[in-house]
Amino acid sequence: MPAFITLTLNPALDLSTATERLQPTHKLRCGTALRFAGGGGINVARVLHRLGADVQAWGLAGGVAGAQVADLLAAEGVPTRFLPIAGDTRENFSVLETATGQEFRFVLPGPSVQPAEWQDCVAQLSQQTQGSPHGAAPRWLVASGSLPPGVPDDIYAQLARAVGGPGVRLAVDTSGAALSAALQAGVAVVKPSLRELRELVQQPLARAADWCAAAHSLVTSGAAEVVALSVGEDGAVLATRDGVWQAPAVPVPVATGTTGAGDCFLAALLWALDDGQPAPDALRWGVAAGAAALLSPGTALAHAADVKRIVASVPPPVAHALSA
């Protein structure tokens, strides 16, 4: 049984290219198209695999694009378990405008998933995370990414209840109603963006002290054991029962877009936590991986050598004092 299982309910075949400038109605001559296996959980699995973790990527997949996603992961050596669906796996498209360095992302909703398809996925994951006579349960289930049409908003909450038990920790990275429902059920780790945290707590969160207090409130309320908050150019915040820390972003040239940086952050953070590293050190690994992602085109994601090189330049996170 792998130590990590990642779940991607809405995987994608990610295509990326570049053009000098985006202009309406014009034919835009682009560079070579790059293709990657994409979707939140898949990206997390790819980075965990590069860091040497024992991981298996689960997902729902169908059609030609779904087969390409599976082939691309096989070429990277990432173990997979895809449950077939009748619909066709989506394709996403990103374009880097070289004249400005801006990245434009075109994200499709994905196929309509039938009730029997997603229910079978929940049932199989629940069974897998209970362990068996032939192997122990995984230590982590990482549910990451958007939901395709037809999948209920509370599916991650259903997973939290289904896999909840000794030894299996659920990490969730999603948004909107799916995020709210998961937190109501309670998870081990959640990774919201600052925008998502603002929506959750219905506050402007204008200052760093406000971010930290809001993140810690999710911990004290029992919604999550660990909150990893990404705040873009201001770095990231990690909140646990033991405290709250903030690490600055690492300056790297962003010439290839930022797609997948958050997934890389989460992967390295979980890898370090699973390794038993203290929360501030795990935060440094997450920040390093997020920065390393910016060095690669499209969703090529962070490479282990870059992560290990950059982590040395991430200063010790600053502990924030919280009011009683």
**Active site residues per annotation:** 263
**What are phi and psi for residue 315, nearest 5 degrees?**
-70, 160
Q: Give the separation between CA 301 and CA 10, rounded to whole angstroms.
A: 18
Q: Give the separation between CA 135 and CA 226, rounded to whole angstroms.
A: 27
Concatenate the DSSP letters of all residues of 37-96 into one string.
EESHHHHHHHHHHHTT--EEEEEEE-HHHHHHHHHHHHHHT--EEEEE-SSPPEEEEEEE
Q: Give the separation between CA 253 and CA 60, rounded to whole angstroms.
A: 35
Q: Give the separation between CA 146 and CA 226, rounded to whole angstroms.
A: 21
The secondary element (H helix, E strand) that includes residue 307 is helix 304-310
Q: Give the separation between CA 242 and CA 219, rounded to whole angstroms.
A: 10
Angle formed at CA 269 by CA 265 and CA 271, multiple of 5 degrees: 120
**Residue 179, C-beta contacts closer than 8 angstroms, at least 6 positions apart:** 156, 172, 190, 192, 196, 200
**Residue 251, C-beta contacts closer than 8 angstroms, at least 6 positions apart:** none
3-class DSSP state of 285: helix
